[in-house]
Amino acid sequence: MPITDVLERNCKLYGDDICLVEINPEIKETRRVTWKEYELMEPNPVSHYRREITWNVFNEKANRFANLLIQRGVKKGDKVAILLMNCLEWLPIYFGILKTGALAVPLNFRYAPDEIEYCVNLAEVDVLVFGPEFIGRVEEIAENISKNRLLFFVGDNCPSFAEDYNSLTSNCSSQMPLVKLTDADDAAIYFSSGTTGFPKAILHNHESLMHSCKVEQNHHGQTKDDVFLCIPPLYHTGAKMHWFGSFLEGGKAVLLKGTKPEFVLDAVSKEKCTIVWLLVPWAQDILDAIDRGDINPDDYELSQWRLMHIGAQPVPQSLITRWKERFPNHDYDTNYGLSESIGPGAVHLGVENIHKVGAIGKAGYGWKTKIVDENGATVARGEVGELCLQGPGVMTCYYRDEKATNDVLKDGWLFTGDMAQEDEDGFIYLVDRKKDVVISGGENIYPVQIEDFLRAYPAIKDVAVIGVPHERLGEATAAIIEIKEGFTCTEEEIQEFCKKLPRYKRPYQIIFADIPRNPTGKIEKPKLRKIYGGEGLVDSQNRG
């Protein structure tokens, strides 16, 4: 069934229950409102700090926006882009778009004006919905994109080149629009991360969205009583599709605006969150803050927190070992997926497989996997090849890009571009991105393996390994290392530590610098290659 039917069902069954909470600790900090003051204030102490809505209000807001779009001529198959930071309006707008039969097109909040314009044009967007953080960027391109397009502004003080979402929707019907949807209907366009240039538009249908709900609920057993803490950006499939498991059961979600360790633990404590999906840097920040004594877990009510899971990138085994030492009662899980496979869950470790930490797991609910060589033949267990996925959540295509589609969709399989290997028990381990493999003197070197090794060093907060030019070997490895706050470290110490690695895996260069990550936690290696990859050839005598 279309995913919009789940919202209608939740409204009927749990209409008066709180379904979404938005928390903005940054505003609370500036207003200097203490938690004691906060608890004494009723019913909504700081309107911009904490907001909440019920399932009835969620559905009503979605219906009002859907009816506004229909009034303005939006029809089945049209596209409506969302350019918003995480907020209480985000999901009702998303579902309002789906209820019209139009396609929701979430946009990355880091896009520059030219990227916004590019994506709007590539997806053939008919309506752009944007928030106050994007006024300047949208104004810069408004003249180019406003022809034959509607611009709706969500927030106070609507700019002159857009229309006011709040006032317009308040006058629209709250009744469900009578638009017939099927599983095969197109539902959404998501954009790739754009690491090789401008992003690709990824088309999914309603079956994909519903499959992500079933996958997540099957993997993590959400119930009506679970409370999901959502921190990553909603434009990305990872955050939203993890929430879909709770959505399927009518559970509450908390949208936290901010990633500081104290913000996360405050939200878990005050909102009684039971499930938290973290990115690697955020989990590490929490552990580091505890180790430094900046925060004390005993100051928070965390006993109800049952599951911590991580995805979006390879997860260092050392990080999870530390986490389990600090939080022994937490179940841990990791999921693997791509926007092309409707986000997380195509491969799934499972909380019962903690002994396999380091693996991404086995094929998820309703999914199939295989690992193939460059000719498409399945490799033997233990050999490295490209991971391929098959299942109901595979994208329809790259929208308006037949060549790119044909490059990755072959005989019903999605070729992920991720290199992986399978152990004797059938568990899959990510080795690296195909494009990130360093070929040095004819040897394939997988940076993720070196990164995992280096993260075990106590002074290292984060690390990225890239290939740099080498006069004799063609490429050599450089390790960009970010040091933990309060620690010092020298190149000689790192080189000494790396002597535990096989000689060919030891980094040729050590560079101490910050590691750039995108909003979904992935290391921005193209940026690092641009900064450090052209610094000159590496002398082979410098090898440790």
CB atoms within 10 A of CB 436: 23
Between β-strands 227-230 and 275-278, what pairing exists: parallel, antiparallel or unpaired?
parallel
Q: Are residues 65 and 202 in the same domain?
A: yes
Confidence band, pLDDT 50/70/90 cuts, at residue 314: low
CB atoms within 10 A of CB 306: 16
Q: How far apart are CA 168 and CA 220, in angstroms?
A: 39
Confidence band, pLDDT 50/70/90 cuts, at residue 267: very high
Tell which of 219, 241, 258 closes a domain. Answer: 258
Q: Which residue has the higher pLDDT, 537 or 295?
A: 295
Cα Rg, the chain, nearest whole Å: 24
Q: Is residue 442 predicted with pLDDT exceeding 80?
A: no
Domain-located, residue 99: yes
Domain-located, residue 367: yes
Domain-located, residue 244: yes
Q: Are residues 204 and 335 in the same domain?
A: no
Query: Looking at 264-268, 269-273, 310-314, 430-434, which range is the least confident one?
Result: 310-314
CATH number at 473 reads 3.30.300.30
Q: Are residues 228 and 314 in the same domain?
A: no
Q: Are residues 378 and 499 in the same domain?
A: no
**pLDDT value for 193:** 66
Nearest to 92 by CA among 146, 54, 124, 44: 54
CATH number at 26 reads 3.40.50.12780
Check residue 310 and report its DSSP letter. Answer: E
Q: Which two tokens stand for residue 194?
A: 């754009």
Confidence band, pLDDT 50/70/90 cuts, at residue 537: very low
Q: Are residues 32 and 153 in the same domain?
A: yes
CB atoms within 10 A of CB 539: 13
Q: Are residues 488 and 367 in the same domain?
A: no
Domain-located, residue 269: no
Q: How far apart are CA 437 and CA 421, in angstroms?
A: 14
Q: Give the tens place of pLDDT for each residue, 136-187.
A: 999 999 999 988 899 999 999 999 999 999 999 999 999 999 999 999 999 9
**pLDDT value for 431:** 80
Q: Are residues 57 and 120 in the same domain?
A: yes
Q: What is the total count of domains within the chain?
A: 3
pTM comes to: 0.82
Domain-located, residue 332: yes
Question: DSSP for 212-226?
Answer: HHHHHHHHH---TT-
Nearest to 110 by CA among 129, 72, 137: 137
Domain-located, residue 283: no
Confidence band, pLDDT 50/70/90 cuts, at residue 42: very low
**pLDDT value for 215:** 95
Domain-located, residue 35: yes
Q: Are residues 84 and 205 in the same domain?
A: yes
Amino acid (one-letter) located at 240: K
Average pLDDT, the chain: 88
Tell which of 239, 258, 277 closes a domain. Answer: 258
Q: Are residues 25 and 105 in the same domain?
A: yes
Query: Looking at 380-384, 414-418, 524-528, which range is the least confident one?
Result: 524-528
Q: Are residues 396 and 479 in the same domain?
A: no
Which position has the token pair 């620690």? Answer: 487
Q: Are residues 404 and 536 in the same domain?
A: no
Region 27-50: what's the mean pLDDT?
A: 48
Domain-located, residue 302: no
Q: Give the tens place of pLDDT for each residue, 280-300.
A: 878 988 999 999 999 999 999
Confidence band, pLDDT 50/70/90 cuts, at residue 535: very low
Handedness of CA 76, 127, 56, 258 (dihedral sign): positive
Q: Is residue 37 predicted with pLDDT exceeding 70?
A: no
Confidence band, pLDDT 50/70/90 cuts, at residue 195: very low
Q: Which domain holds residue 380?
A: 307-433
| Residue 224 near residue 13 (C-beta atoms within 8 A) | no
Q: Are residues 144 and 184 in the same domain?
A: yes
Tell which of 365, 400, 433 closes a domain. Answer: 433
Residues 6+ apart with CB under 8 A from 40: none
Phi and psi, residue 468, nearest 5°? -125, 155
**pLDDT value for 544:** 32
